[in-house]
């Protein structure tokens, strides 16, 4: 499968624990995005990378959240000291970099986080 993959697909954790999610984008894609989707809402942008550089972070991304893309390939999203309000689906997407064009983003299946 050459699509975007995410791991794990489901994560249940207790409040206060740290969790880390992984995203493997389509191999030739330069850009990688993280979104959060809660029930009944559309995905909300969290952050994105161009290669290994994190270019933008949403104000939704509190200090407890950190994302990395160390080699410009896969990315991790870590949530420290999880809270019940962090329960959501975390989506990863990737896109190629083609100047002047609106690039379609290819989405992974998501990681569903439940904080008890």
* Residue ranges that bind another protein, judged by CB under 8 A: 3-4, 31, 35, 40-45, 48, 50, 55-56, 91, 93, 95, 100-110
Residue closer to another protein by CB (options 4, 67) is 4
Of residues 46, 30, 23, 17, the one with CA closest to residue 116: 17
Residue closer to another protein by CB (options 82, 110) is 110
Other C-beta atoms lying within 10 Å of the C-beta of residue 94: 25
CB of 108 to another protein, least distance (A): 6
Cβ-proximal residues to 44 (8 Å cutoff; 6+ apart), any chain: 35, 36, 37, 58, 60
CB of 78 to another protein, least distance (A): 22
Residue closer to another protein by CB (options 82, 105) is 105
CB of 69 to another protein, least distance (A): 15
CB of 93 to another protein, least distance (A): 8
Residue closer to another protein by CB (options 6, 82) is 6
Other C-beta atoms lying within 10 Å of the C-beta of residue 69: 23
Of residues 2, 21, 30, the one with CA closest to residue 88: 21
Query: Phi and psi at residue 26, in whole multiples of 5°?
Result: -65, 135
């Amino acid at each position: 499968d050459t699509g975007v993959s995410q791991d794990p697909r489901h994560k249940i954790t207790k409040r206060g624990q740290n969790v880390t999610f992984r995203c493997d984008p389509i191999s030739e894609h330069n850009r990688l995005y993280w979104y959060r989707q809660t029930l009944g809402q559309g995905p909300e942008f969290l952050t994105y990378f161009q290669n290994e550089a994190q270019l933008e972070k949403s104000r939704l991304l509190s200090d407890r959240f950190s994302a990395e893309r160390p080699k410009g390939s896969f990315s991790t999203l870590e949530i420290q000291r999880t809270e019940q309000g962090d329960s959501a689906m975390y989506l990863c997407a990737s896109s190629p970099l083609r100047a002047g064009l609106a690039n379609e983003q290819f989405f992974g299946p998501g990681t569903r986080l439940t904080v008890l």
